[in-house]
Amino acid sequence: MSVLINEKIDNLLKSTSRSFYPTLKYLPKKVRGQIGLLYLLARVADTIADSKHGETEELLRILRNYNDVAQGNSSTLPEFSELAEIQDNPNEAELLKNVKDVIDGLQVYDESDQERMLECLNIIVGGQILDLERFGTAKEGGSISALKNNQEMDDYTYRVAGCVGVFWTKMSLAHLISMPTEKQDDFFEKGIRFGKALQMINILRDIPEDLRFGRCYIPLEELAKHNLQPKDLLNPNNIDKFRPLYDEYLDLTNEHLDEAVEYIKMLPETQFRLKASCMLPVLIGQRTVSLLREGNILDSSDRIKVTRDEIKSYARKLPRALLIPGGVKRLLEKNKDGRNGP
């Protein structure tokens, strides 16, 4: 893949994203750099908010300060060196050491694209701020806080991922495709559902890790209906009791993924690369849901994820599926979680 902005930005992207970087390679050049840069801008915010050390108020200050600089409302970046040193992930530590370069990357693009990126970043940071205010610093061994209800869960998935679907759609309409005005509202709504699907997968896959650091994204109201509390999810033996509720959320995730498939169908056939870049996360998402159905998500010793070899296999299958009539439909249906299939 050709250099997006510069070699440093490319290396940061490649090192911090296991599943997104392969998607980025498929994107048309007209939008590849902007979408890659937004990913890094958002990853900075995510790394700050998910830091497992430091006081909540200090992390909130750094996060707000970072966003102010990115938005052009301040010129003084917070000091990231101490925060970088305490990161468990060396790639995220390196990202924090190079925040200025990431923000400076905005200047490569015109004002309209900068506005689109910063609008989305502002919503994401708002979600991260809400997360920190709600849960506090992700410290191991403390008490567990949880979302209250499904409305809070849906709002959270929009703030940190659904808004990315809006951004992706705006970039596509601005640079790659045209669409009748009367169809655009539906297109945007499906884009939001696309983003929510991917965030729901993150939530449902990362339950043990989140619980370990005091965060439960499974709402209290829904847990109570099954005579469960957040702390009960720490015990793998409670999977049978939790399974009906967990399956409900997997079903919701599949409904979001179905809308993502419809989103892809709305893209022109000539947009080969754009379709491919959308299909890869859907395929990975479908496979992840299938794995989550089969495993015991409460067992923290059994990490459930799609392997690199599986991702490479999807990447090999994609071009052929896009070239053969009906290939996309067959690939998606064959890959789809069986319980939600036709």
Task: Confirm whether 325 is domain-assigned.
Answer: yes
Q: Is 3 helix (H, G, I), strand (E, B) or coil?
A: coil
Model-level pTM?
0.92
Residue 46: which of 34, 33, 59 has the closest Cα?
59
Q: Are residues 181 and 329 in the same domain?
A: yes
What's the whole-number average pLDDT of the chain?
92
Task: Confirm whether 341 is domain-assigned.
Answer: no
Question: Is pLDDT above 50 for 96?
Answer: yes
Q: Which carries the bigger pLDDT value, residue 57 or residue 138?
A: 57
Task: Confirm whether 338 is domain-assigned.
Answer: no
Average of per-residue pLDDT across 19-44: 90
Q: Are residues 135 and 148 in the same domain?
A: no
Q: Are residues 100 and 41 in the same domain?
A: yes
Q: Are residues 147 and 262 in the same domain?
A: yes
Here the tokens at position 281 are 């996360």
So what's the pLDDT on residue 14? 87
DSSP string, 244-294: HHHHHHHHHHHHHHHHHHHHHHTS-TT-HHHHHHHHHHHHHHHHHHHHHHH
Percentage of the chain beyond pLDDT 90 is: 72
Task: Confirm whether 342 is domain-assigned.
Answer: no
Here the tokens at position 13 are 């992207």
| Separation between Cα atoms, residue 65 and residue 205, nearest integer Å | 31
Convert the pLDDT of each residue in 236-247 to its tens digit. 999 999 999 999
Question: Is pLDDT above 60 for 342?
Answer: no
Average of per-residue pLDDT across 45-62: 90
Q: Are residues 120 and 210 in the same domain?
A: no
Q: Is 308 helix (H, G, I), strand (E, B) or coil?
A: helix
Residue 37: which of 97, 126, 129, 118 has the closest Cα?
118
So what's the pLDDT on residue 338? 46
Average of per-residue pLDDT across 244-252: 98
Here the tokens at position 2 are 């050709």
**Residue 109: phi, psi to the nearest 5?**
-110, 160
So what's the pLDDT on residue 17? 83
So what's the pLDDT on residue 291? 95
Q: Are residues 276 and 250 in the same domain?
A: yes
Average of per-residue pLDDT across 296-301: 93
Q: Are residues 179 and 257 in the same domain?
A: yes
Q: Are residues 316 and 181 in the same domain?
A: yes
Question: Is pLDDT above 80 for 140?
Answer: no
Convert the pLDDT of each residue in 195-241 to its tens digit. 999 999 999 999 999 999 999 999 999 999 999 999 999 999 999 99
Task: Confirm whether 274 is domain-assigned.
Answer: yes
So what's the pLDDT on residue 148? 97
Q: Are residues 135 and 155 in the same domain?
A: no
How many domains does the chain divide into?
2
Domain membership of residue 61 as a residue range: 1-139
- Looking up tokens 């890959």 gives 335
